[in-house]
């Protein structure tokens, strides 16, 4: 939802200009944590590019993601990665050593990217919300858990709130991007809810999208108490993340939920609204 940070000097920028689910290593982030946040961002963004950008075949994307996974495993095994992505795995190795980053959320992200490749190649969707949330648990929730690890916040309640916020952000991305995803055979609307509304994934209705918007809003609100648990300036960063997601939902509703026709856009005034609402959280 926001422009990415400039990469650290040792990291070269991939081909595209976003990785939606990762927080920005902004001035609100303590200086001591910025190298780790930047390393995690470029790790996730590069993997996302492998899965999603260019014109490679599905089998080629999956092979590259498997090689990428092998390089990740090499870091945790104490062996040398392949050398294909030194600008990613060099900084990530340093962050693992310095900050004790866990293996599982990093690997879960790659599992989700591979699932995206397979689903798109098959033109397949998600049966219901439970299946979609299982995907979010690997595509989005690991980001929040990695950030909480860096801040030393790891109790079960905080992790559950983080999972809810990250999953809500992932769902918001889906519902705002229908005009982009549907032509590319990316289907995220739950099939059982499509059937309930008498339609299909390929032909959403306003009522169907409005229902998913309400779901995402409820999920975001359920995780919002986390903003009071994250210390210092990053707590304010998280407030803005939450309010940014909620503001996009407002925008979707203001266009009568017809996001398969156009993508909602945030304007400068929306930033003022987000900041004001963050003060009152």
- Residue 193: left (phi > 0), alpha (psi -120 to 50), or beta? alpha
- Report the pLDDT value the prediction gives residue 26, as an integer from 0 to 100: 57
Give yes or no for residue 172 having a pLDDT over 50.
Answer: yes
Over residues 196-224, the pLDDT tens digits come to: 999 999 999 999 999 999 999 999 999 99
Distance CA 253, CA 213 (A): 8
Give yes or no for residue 14 having a pLDDT over 60.
Answer: no
Give yes or no for residue 16 having a pLDDT over 80.
Answer: no
Query: What's the whole-number mean pLDDT along residues 253-270?
Result: 94
Distance CA 109, CA 115 (A): 10
Give yes or no for residue 5 having a pLDDT over 60.
Answer: no
Closest CA to 175 of 165, 194, 189: 189
Which stretches of 78-140 are DSSP H helices? Answer: 86-99, 103-122, 129-139
- Domains observed in the chain: 30-122 (no CATH), 125-281 (1.10.600.10)
Distance CA 162, CA 225 (A): 9
- Report the pLDDT value the prediction gives residue 231, as an integer from 0 to 100: 79
Q: Are 259 and 188 spatial neighbours (Cβ–Cβ below 8 Å)?
A: no
Dihedral of the CA atoms 166, 219, 189, 17 (nearest 10)? -30
Q: Biggest alpha carbon distance in the chain? A: 54
Query: What's the whole-number mean pLDDT along residues 159-174?
Result: 96
CA-derived radius of gyration, the chain: 19
SS3 35: helix
Answer with the residue of higher pLDDT: 230 or 174.
Answer: 174
Question: Token pair of 222, please?
Answer: 């359920």
Q: Are 16 and 53 spatial neighbours (Cβ–Cβ below 8 Å)?
A: yes
Distance CA 255, CA 220 (A): 20
- Report the pLDDT value the prediction gives residue 233, as an integer from 0 to 100: 78
Give yes or no for residue 1 having a pLDDT over 50.
Answer: no
Over residues 124-148, the pLDDT tens digits come to: 999 999 999 999 999 999 999 999 9
Distance CA 260, CA 197 (A): 16
């Amino acid at each position: 939802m926001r422009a990415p940070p400039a990469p650290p000097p040792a990291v070269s920028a991939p081909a595209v200009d976003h990785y939606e689910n990762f927080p920005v290593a902004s001035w609100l982030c303590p200086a001591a944590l910025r190298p780790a946040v930047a390393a995690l961002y470029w790790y996730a963004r590069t993997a996302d590019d492998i899965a999603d950008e260019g014109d490679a075949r599905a089998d080629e994307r999956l092979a590259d993601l498997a090689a990428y996974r092998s390089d990740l495993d090499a870091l945790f095994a104490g062996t040398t990665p392949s050398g294909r992505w030194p600008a990613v795995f060099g900084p990530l190795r340093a962050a693992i050593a310095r900050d004790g980053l866990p293996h599982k959320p990093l690997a879960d992200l790659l599992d989700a990217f591979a699932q995206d490749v397979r689903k798109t190649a098959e033109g397949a969707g998600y049966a219901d919300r439970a299946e979609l949330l299982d995907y979010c648990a690997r595509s989005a929730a690991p980001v929040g858990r990695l950030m909480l690890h860096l801040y030393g916040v790891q109790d079960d309640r905080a992790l559950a709130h983080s999972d809810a916020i990250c999953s809500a952000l992932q769902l918001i991305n889906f519902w705002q991007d229908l005009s982009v995803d549907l032509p590319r055979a990316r289907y995220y609307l739950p099939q059982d809810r499509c059937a309930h509304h008498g339609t299909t994934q390929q032909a959403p209705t306003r009522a169907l999208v409005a229902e998913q918007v309400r779901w995402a809003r409820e999920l975001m609100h359920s995780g919002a108490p986390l903003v009071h648990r994250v210390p210092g300036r990053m707590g304010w960063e998280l407030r803005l993340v939450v309010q940014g997601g909620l503001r996009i939902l407002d925008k979707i509703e203001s266009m009568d939920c017809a996001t398969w026709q156009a993508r909602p856009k945030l304007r400068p005034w929306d930033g003022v609204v987000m900041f004001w609402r963050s003060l009152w959280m």
